Amino acid sequence: MAVDTTVNSAPRASIWNDPRGRAIIYQVLVVGGVVLMFWYLISNTMENLQNQQIASGFGFLDREAGFEISESLIDFSAASNYGSAFLVGILNTFKVSVLGIAIATILGILIGIARLSSNWLVAKLAMSYVELLRNIPLLLQLFFWYGVITVSLPGPREAINPLPGVFLSNRGFKVPVPEAHFAFTMAGVALVIGVIATYVVMRWAKARQARTGQPFPMLAAGAGLIVGLPVLAWLLGGAPTTLDMPELGRFRFTGGITLTPEFAALLFGLATYTAAFIAEIVRSGILAVSYGQTEAASALGLRKGLVLRLVVLPQALRVIIPPTTSQYLNLTKNSSLAVAIGYPDLVHVGNTTLNQTGQAIEAISIFMAVYLSLSLAISAFMNWYNQRIALVER
Protein backbone atom coordinates (compact mmCIF):
# COMPACT_ATOMS: atom_id res chain seq x y z
CA MET A 1 0.00 0.00 0.00
CA ALA A 2 1.38 3.33 -1.03
CA VAL A 3 1.30 5.97 1.65
CA ASP A 4 0.92 9.51 0.49
CA THR A 5 2.34 11.66 3.24
CA THR A 6 1.67 14.93 1.50
CA VAL A 7 -2.09 14.69 1.54
CA ASN A 8 -3.53 15.30 4.98
CA SER A 9 -6.89 13.80 4.28
CA ALA A 10 -5.36 10.40 3.68
CA PRO A 11 -5.54 8.16 6.74
CA ARG A 12 -2.36 8.67 8.71
CA ALA A 13 -0.12 5.65 8.79
CA SER A 14 1.50 4.59 12.02
CA ILE A 15 4.92 6.17 12.43
CA TRP A 16 6.69 2.89 11.50
CA ASN A 17 4.90 2.66 8.17
CA ASP A 18 5.48 6.28 7.28
CA PRO A 19 8.74 6.51 5.29
CA ARG A 20 9.66 9.78 6.95
CA GLY A 21 8.95 8.44 10.40
CA ARG A 22 10.95 5.35 9.64
CA ALA A 23 13.89 7.43 8.44
CA ILE A 24 13.83 9.41 11.69
CA ILE A 25 13.79 6.26 13.79
CA TYR A 26 16.69 4.78 11.85
CA GLN A 27 18.75 7.91 12.20
CA VAL A 28 18.07 8.25 15.91
CA LEU A 29 19.15 4.63 16.35
CA VAL A 30 22.35 5.05 14.34
CA VAL A 31 23.36 8.35 15.93
CA GLY A 32 22.50 6.99 19.36
CA GLY A 33 24.63 3.91 18.72
CA VAL A 34 27.61 5.95 17.59
CA VAL A 35 27.30 8.33 20.55
CA LEU A 36 27.06 5.41 22.98
CA MET A 37 30.12 3.77 21.47
CA PHE A 38 32.13 6.95 21.72
CA TRP A 39 30.99 7.52 25.28
CA TYR A 40 32.08 4.00 26.17
CA LEU A 41 35.49 4.37 24.52
CA ILE A 42 36.10 7.79 26.03
CA SER A 43 35.14 6.78 29.53
CA ASN A 44 37.42 3.73 29.29
CA THR A 45 40.22 5.92 28.04
CA MET A 46 39.76 8.45 30.83
CA GLU A 47 39.89 5.68 33.38
CA ASN A 48 42.98 4.11 31.83
CA LEU A 49 44.77 7.43 31.60
CA GLN A 50 43.96 8.16 35.20
CA ASN A 51 45.37 4.80 36.22
CA GLN A 52 48.56 5.47 34.25
CA GLN A 53 48.66 9.04 35.59
CA ILE A 54 49.02 10.66 32.20
CA ALA A 55 47.68 14.19 32.00
CA SER A 56 45.86 14.67 28.74
CA GLY A 57 46.12 17.89 26.75
CA PHE A 58 48.66 19.59 24.55
CA GLY A 59 50.63 21.19 27.40
CA PHE A 60 53.52 18.79 26.74
CA LEU A 61 54.31 20.60 23.50
CA ASP A 62 56.05 23.32 25.53
CA ARG A 63 58.28 20.88 27.39
CA GLU A 64 61.89 20.28 26.43
CA ALA A 65 62.18 17.46 23.88
CA GLY A 66 65.57 16.17 24.96
CA PHE A 67 66.30 14.32 21.72
CA GLU A 68 68.21 15.29 18.61
CA ILE A 69 66.82 15.17 15.09
CA SER A 70 69.27 14.14 12.41
CA GLU A 71 68.16 16.62 9.78
CA SER A 72 66.07 19.72 10.00
CA LEU A 73 65.14 22.73 7.92
CA ILE A 74 64.96 24.94 11.01
CA ASP A 75 67.21 25.27 14.03
CA PHE A 76 66.58 22.42 16.38
CA SER A 77 68.47 20.96 19.30
CA ALA A 78 67.72 18.68 22.21
CA ALA A 79 66.90 21.78 24.22
CA SER A 80 64.03 22.77 21.90
CA ASN A 81 60.50 21.84 22.86
CA TYR A 82 58.22 19.10 21.55
CA GLY A 83 56.26 21.68 19.57
CA SER A 84 59.30 22.56 17.47
CA ALA A 85 60.10 18.87 17.12
CA PHE A 86 56.70 18.35 15.52
CA LEU A 87 57.29 21.37 13.31
CA VAL A 88 60.61 19.90 12.18
CA GLY A 89 58.82 16.65 11.37
CA ILE A 90 56.10 18.41 9.40
CA LEU A 91 58.67 20.40 7.43
CA ASN A 92 60.65 17.24 6.70
CA THR A 93 57.47 15.55 5.48
CA PHE A 94 56.84 18.52 3.21
CA LYS A 95 60.40 18.55 1.97
CA VAL A 96 60.44 14.92 0.87
CA SER A 97 56.87 15.11 -0.48
CA VAL A 98 57.36 18.21 -2.59
CA LEU A 99 60.61 16.95 -4.11
CA GLY A 100 59.15 13.47 -4.53
CA ILE A 101 56.10 14.85 -6.31
CA ALA A 102 58.25 16.88 -8.68
CA ILE A 103 60.45 13.91 -9.60
CA ALA A 104 57.56 11.44 -9.77
CA THR A 105 55.65 13.74 -12.12
CA ILE A 106 58.49 14.16 -14.59
CA LEU A 107 59.43 10.47 -14.47
CA GLY A 108 55.78 9.38 -14.65
CA ILE A 109 55.03 11.51 -17.71
CA LEU A 110 58.13 10.21 -19.49
CA ILE A 111 57.32 6.58 -18.73
CA GLY A 112 53.63 7.05 -19.55
CA ILE A 113 54.54 8.43 -22.96
CA ALA A 114 57.14 5.70 -23.40
CA ARG A 115 54.43 3.08 -22.83
CA LEU A 116 52.63 4.47 -25.88
CA SER A 117 55.79 4.67 -27.96
CA SER A 118 55.67 3.15 -31.43
CA ASN A 119 59.08 1.69 -30.58
CA TRP A 120 58.37 -1.82 -29.35
CA LEU A 121 61.44 -1.98 -27.12
CA VAL A 122 60.69 1.35 -25.44
CA ALA A 123 57.06 0.40 -24.85
CA LYS A 124 57.98 -3.00 -23.38
CA LEU A 125 60.67 -1.55 -21.14
CA ALA A 126 58.25 1.07 -19.82
CA MET A 127 55.67 -1.64 -19.22
CA SER A 128 58.15 -3.77 -17.30
CA TYR A 129 59.04 -0.78 -15.15
CA VAL A 130 55.40 -0.13 -14.30
CA GLU A 131 54.55 -3.76 -13.57
CA LEU A 132 57.66 -4.35 -11.50
CA LEU A 133 57.37 -1.26 -9.33
CA ARG A 134 53.61 -1.47 -8.84
CA ASN A 135 53.59 -5.08 -7.72
CA ILE A 136 56.22 -4.91 -5.01
CA PRO A 137 55.40 -3.28 -1.66
CA LEU A 138 56.79 0.21 -1.30
CA LEU A 139 58.26 -0.57 2.09
CA LEU A 140 60.29 -3.40 0.61
CA GLN A 141 61.55 -1.05 -2.09
CA LEU A 142 62.52 1.52 0.52
CA PHE A 143 64.47 -1.09 2.49
CA PHE A 144 66.13 -2.16 -0.72
CA TRP A 145 67.26 1.35 -1.70
CA TYR A 146 68.34 2.04 1.85
CA GLY A 147 70.36 -1.16 1.71
CA VAL A 148 71.92 -0.17 -1.61
CA ILE A 149 73.09 3.10 -0.09
CA THR A 150 74.15 2.00 3.37
CA VAL A 151 75.52 -1.47 2.61
CA SER A 152 76.63 -1.58 -0.99
CA LEU A 153 78.16 1.87 -1.29
CA PRO A 154 81.69 2.21 0.06
CA GLY A 155 82.64 4.21 3.15
CA PRO A 156 83.48 7.91 2.92
CA ARG A 157 87.19 7.23 2.40
CA GLU A 158 86.52 5.18 -0.74
CA ALA A 159 83.50 7.24 -1.79
CA ILE A 160 82.47 6.89 -5.42
CA ASN A 161 83.29 10.12 -7.20
CA PRO A 162 81.34 10.04 -10.51
CA LEU A 163 81.53 13.81 -11.11
CA PRO A 164 83.92 16.31 -9.63
CA GLY A 165 82.57 17.30 -6.24
CA VAL A 166 79.92 14.59 -6.09
CA PHE A 167 80.64 11.85 -3.56
CA LEU A 168 78.47 8.79 -3.07
CA SER A 169 79.16 6.88 0.10
CA ASN A 170 77.31 4.86 2.70
CA ARG A 171 77.02 8.04 4.77
CA GLY A 172 74.93 9.71 2.10
CA PHE A 173 75.51 11.83 -0.96
CA LYS A 174 77.66 14.94 -1.03
CA VAL A 175 76.85 17.49 -3.69
CA PRO A 176 78.56 20.82 -4.37
CA VAL A 177 76.56 24.04 -4.12
CA PRO A 178 77.49 27.42 -5.54
CA GLU A 179 78.99 29.72 -2.92
CA ALA A 180 76.69 32.52 -1.89
CA HIS A 181 77.22 35.50 -4.18
CA PHE A 182 75.32 38.65 -5.03
CA ALA A 183 74.92 37.43 -8.63
CA PHE A 184 72.74 34.55 -7.45
CA THR A 185 70.41 36.92 -5.65
CA MET A 186 70.19 38.89 -8.88
CA ALA A 187 69.53 35.76 -10.88
CA GLY A 188 66.75 34.87 -8.47
CA VAL A 189 65.15 38.27 -8.93
CA ALA A 190 65.61 37.92 -12.69
CA LEU A 191 63.81 34.58 -12.58
CA VAL A 192 60.79 36.18 -10.95
CA ILE A 193 60.88 39.01 -13.50
CA GLY A 194 61.20 36.45 -16.29
CA VAL A 195 58.10 34.58 -15.13
CA ILE A 196 56.09 37.78 -14.86
CA ALA A 197 57.37 38.98 -18.25
CA THR A 198 56.42 35.65 -19.83
CA TYR A 199 52.91 36.05 -18.51
CA VAL A 200 52.69 39.60 -19.89
CA VAL A 201 54.09 38.57 -23.29
CA MET A 202 51.68 35.64 -23.36
CA ARG A 203 48.71 37.97 -22.95
CA TRP A 204 50.11 40.35 -25.53
CA ALA A 205 50.75 37.50 -27.99
CA LYS A 206 47.21 36.24 -27.54
CA ALA A 207 45.75 39.69 -28.17
CA ARG A 208 47.96 40.23 -31.19
CA GLN A 209 47.01 36.88 -32.69
CA ALA A 210 43.34 37.71 -32.20
CA ARG A 211 43.89 41.05 -33.93
CA THR A 212 46.20 40.19 -36.79
CA GLY A 213 46.12 36.41 -36.90
CA GLN A 214 49.89 36.18 -36.51
CA PRO A 215 50.85 33.56 -33.92
CA PHE A 216 53.85 34.32 -31.73
CA PRO A 217 56.57 31.75 -30.95
CA MET A 218 55.58 31.75 -27.30
CA LEU A 219 57.44 28.59 -26.31
CA ALA A 220 60.79 29.95 -27.44
CA ALA A 221 60.09 33.40 -26.04
CA GLY A 222 58.99 32.02 -22.67
CA ALA A 223 61.98 29.73 -22.42
CA GLY A 224 64.23 32.64 -23.36
CA LEU A 225 62.75 34.88 -20.69
CA ILE A 226 62.63 32.32 -17.90
CA VAL A 227 66.06 30.81 -18.56
CA GLY A 228 67.78 33.65 -20.38
CA LEU A 229 67.09 36.50 -17.95
CA PRO A 230 68.57 34.73 -14.87
CA VAL A 231 71.60 33.65 -16.90
CA LEU A 232 72.05 37.23 -18.06
CA ALA A 233 71.79 38.50 -14.48
CA TRP A 234 74.33 35.92 -13.38
CA LEU A 235 76.70 37.01 -16.16
CA LEU A 236 76.25 40.69 -15.28
CA GLY A 237 76.92 39.85 -11.65
CA GLY A 238 80.39 38.70 -12.69
CA ALA A 239 79.53 35.09 -13.50
CA PRO A 240 80.77 33.63 -10.22
CA THR A 241 81.64 29.97 -10.64
CA THR A 242 83.15 29.16 -7.28
CA LEU A 243 81.42 26.13 -5.89
CA ASP A 244 81.36 25.05 -2.32
CA MET A 245 83.02 21.74 -3.11
CA PRO A 246 82.75 18.86 -0.68
CA GLU A 247 86.18 17.62 0.31
CA LEU A 248 87.24 14.61 2.26
CA GLY A 249 88.86 15.81 5.45
CA ARG A 250 90.57 13.62 8.00
CA PHE A 251 87.38 12.05 9.29
CA ARG A 252 84.51 13.40 7.30
CA PHE A 253 83.50 15.57 4.41
CA THR A 254 83.46 19.31 4.65
CA GLY A 255 81.58 21.71 2.40
CA GLY A 256 78.78 21.06 -0.08
CA ILE A 257 75.41 19.81 0.97
CA THR A 258 74.53 16.38 2.21
CA LEU A 259 71.70 14.10 1.27
CA THR A 260 71.43 11.65 4.13
CA PRO A 261 71.01 7.98 3.18
CA GLU A 262 67.56 8.01 4.79
CA PHE A 263 66.41 11.02 2.81
CA ALA A 264 67.93 9.82 -0.45
CA ALA A 265 66.42 6.33 -0.14
CA LEU A 266 62.99 7.67 0.82
CA LEU A 267 62.95 10.28 -1.92
CA PHE A 268 64.14 7.86 -4.58
CA GLY A 269 61.79 5.09 -3.47
CA LEU A 270 58.72 7.32 -3.23
CA ALA A 271 59.40 9.01 -6.57
CA THR A 272 60.07 5.86 -8.57
CA TYR A 273 57.10 4.01 -7.01
CA THR A 274 54.62 6.84 -7.55
CA ALA A 275 55.98 7.44 -11.06
CA ALA A 276 54.75 3.96 -12.02
CA PHE A 277 51.21 4.92 -11.03
CA ILE A 278 51.40 8.34 -12.68
CA ALA A 279 52.68 6.68 -15.85
CA GLU A 280 49.56 4.52 -16.00
CA ILE A 281 47.36 7.58 -15.47
CA VAL A 282 49.13 9.52 -18.20
CA ARG A 283 48.86 6.59 -20.56
CA SER A 284 45.16 6.06 -20.01
CA GLY A 285 44.55 9.82 -20.20
CA ILE A 286 46.10 10.03 -23.62
CA LEU A 287 44.32 6.87 -24.75
CA ALA A 288 41.03 8.36 -23.51
CA VAL A 289 41.18 10.95 -26.27
CA SER A 290 39.83 9.05 -29.24
CA TYR A 291 41.97 8.79 -32.33
CA GLY A 292 39.17 10.47 -34.26
CA GLN A 293 40.04 13.73 -32.51
CA THR A 294 43.59 13.60 -33.85
CA GLU A 295 42.33 12.68 -37.28
CA ALA A 296 39.77 15.48 -37.36
CA ALA A 297 42.36 18.02 -36.29
CA SER A 298 44.89 16.75 -38.85
CA ALA A 299 42.25 16.81 -41.56
CA LEU A 300 41.74 20.49 -40.79
CA GLY A 301 45.39 21.01 -41.58
CA LEU A 302 46.78 21.35 -38.05
CA ARG A 303 50.39 20.22 -37.66
CA LYS A 304 51.26 17.47 -35.18
CA GLY A 305 52.48 19.83 -32.46
CA LEU A 306 49.36 21.97 -32.66
CA VAL A 307 47.10 18.92 -32.64
CA LEU A 308 48.74 17.84 -29.42
CA ARG A 309 48.61 21.29 -27.84
CA LEU A 310 45.16 22.44 -28.92
CA VAL A 311 43.18 19.22 -29.11
CA VAL A 312 44.73 16.19 -27.41
CA LEU A 313 46.36 17.66 -24.29
CA PRO A 314 43.44 19.80 -23.12
CA GLN A 315 41.22 16.72 -23.22
CA ALA A 316 43.79 14.32 -21.79
CA LEU A 317 44.57 16.62 -18.87
CA ARG A 318 40.96 16.52 -17.74
CA VAL A 319 41.32 12.77 -17.35
CA ILE A 320 44.85 12.91 -15.96
CA ILE A 321 44.77 15.65 -13.34
CA PRO A 322 42.21 14.34 -10.80
CA PRO A 323 43.79 10.88 -10.30
CA THR A 324 47.24 12.44 -10.37
CA THR A 325 46.41 14.73 -7.48
CA SER A 326 45.28 11.73 -5.49
CA GLN A 327 48.61 10.08 -6.32
CA TYR A 328 50.30 13.18 -4.91
CA LEU A 329 48.27 12.72 -1.79
CA ASN A 330 49.26 9.04 -1.69
CA LEU A 331 52.91 9.96 -2.01
CA THR A 332 52.58 12.37 0.89
CA LYS A 333 50.85 9.75 3.01
CA ASN A 334 53.40 7.12 1.99
CA SER A 335 56.20 9.42 3.13
CA SER A 336 55.16 8.30 6.61
CA LEU A 337 57.01 5.05 5.85
CA ALA A 338 60.04 7.19 6.67
CA VAL A 339 59.66 5.91 10.21
CA ALA A 340 60.79 2.46 9.03
CA ILE A 341 64.13 3.66 7.68
CA GLY A 342 64.70 6.46 10.15
CA TYR A 343 64.07 9.64 8.21
CA PRO A 344 62.71 12.16 10.76
CA ASP A 345 59.32 12.93 9.22
CA LEU A 346 56.19 13.84 11.16
CA VAL A 347 55.34 10.25 12.11
CA HIS A 348 58.89 9.43 13.11
CA VAL A 349 59.23 12.48 15.36
CA GLY A 350 55.72 11.92 16.69
CA ASN A 351 56.52 8.31 17.47
CA THR A 352 59.60 9.32 19.44
CA THR A 353 57.56 11.90 21.32
CA LEU A 354 54.83 9.38 21.97
CA ASN A 355 57.29 6.89 23.41
CA GLN A 356 58.90 9.51 25.63
CA THR A 357 55.79 11.23 26.93
CA GLY A 358 53.07 8.62 26.60
CA GLN A 359 50.83 11.28 25.05
CA ALA A 360 49.45 8.79 22.55
CA ILE A 361 46.12 10.44 21.90
CA GLU A 362 47.65 13.84 21.35
CA ALA A 363 50.42 12.58 19.07
CA ILE A 364 48.02 10.58 16.93
CA SER A 365 45.61 13.52 16.80
CA ILE A 366 48.42 15.68 15.45
CA PHE A 367 49.22 13.08 12.76
CA MET A 368 45.61 12.91 11.75
CA ALA A 369 45.10 16.67 11.80
CA VAL A 370 48.10 17.27 9.54
CA TYR A 371 47.30 14.56 7.02
CA LEU A 372 43.60 15.31 7.04
CA SER A 373 44.05 19.01 6.39
CA LEU A 374 46.32 18.08 3.49
CA SER A 375 43.73 15.70 2.03
CA LEU A 376 40.93 18.18 2.54
CA ALA A 377 42.94 20.89 0.80
CA ILE A 378 43.66 18.57 -2.10
CA SER A 379 40.09 17.37 -2.43
CA ALA A 380 38.89 20.97 -2.32
CA PHE A 381 41.23 21.66 -5.21
CA MET A 382 39.94 18.63 -7.08
CA ASN A 383 36.32 19.68 -6.65
CA TRP A 384 37.14 23.14 -7.88
CA TYR A 385 39.07 21.75 -10.84
CA ASN A 386 36.40 19.22 -11.75
CA GLN A 387 33.74 21.90 -11.72
CA ARG A 388 35.85 24.18 -13.83
CA ILE A 389 36.60 21.63 -16.51
CA ALA A 390 33.46 19.50 -16.46
CA LEU A 391 32.42 18.91 -20.06
CA VAL A 392 29.01 20.35 -20.70
CA GLU A 393 26.69 17.63 -21.95
CA ARG A 394 23.00 17.32 -22.42
Candidate ranges 80-88, 176-184, 237-245, 307-315; the one touching another protein (CB under 8 A): 307-315
59, exposed or middle or buried, with CB in 10 Å at 0-12, 13-18, 19+? exposed
For residues 199-228, which are near another protein according to CB under 8 A? 209-215
204, exposed or middle or buried, with CB in 10 Å at 0-12, 13-18, 19+? exposed
For residues 255-284, which are near another protein according to CB under 8 A? none
Task: Report if residue 116 touches another protein, rule: CB under 8 A.
Answer: no
Task: Report if residue 302 touches another protein, rule: CB under 8 A.
Answer: yes
Q: Which amino acid is at 77?
A: S
Task: Report if residue 27 touches another protein, rule: CB under 8 A.
Answer: yes
Q: Which is nearer to another protein, 79 or 392 (CB)?
A: 392
Residue from the set 55, 239, 303, 381 that interacts with another protein by CB under 8 A: 303
Residue from the set 30, 189, 223, 239 that interacts with another protein by CB under 8 A: 30
Task: Report if residue 337 touches another protein, rule: CB under 8 A.
Answer: yes
Local structure of 165: helix, strand or coil: coil
Residue from the set 5, 17, 44, 242 that interacts with another protein by CB under 8 A: 44
Task: Report if residue 5 touches another protein, rule: CB under 8 A.
Answer: no
Q: How far is the CB of 318 from another protein (least distance, A)?
A: 7
Number of residues that bind another protein (CB under 8 A): 84
d(CA 269, CA 187): 32
**347: which residues sit within 8 A by CB, 6+ positions away?**
89, 336, 338, 339, 367
Q: How far is the CB of 331 from another protein (least distance, A)?
A: 11
Query: What DSSP state is assigned to residue 224?
Result: I
**83: which residues sit within 8 A by CB, 6+ positions away?**
61, 62
Residue from the set 118, 162, 251, 387 that interacts with another protein by CB under 8 A: 118
Strands (E), the chain: 167-169, 172-175, 177-178, 243-244, 247-248, 253-254, 257-259
Task: Report if residue 368 touches another protein, rule: CB under 8 A.
Answer: yes
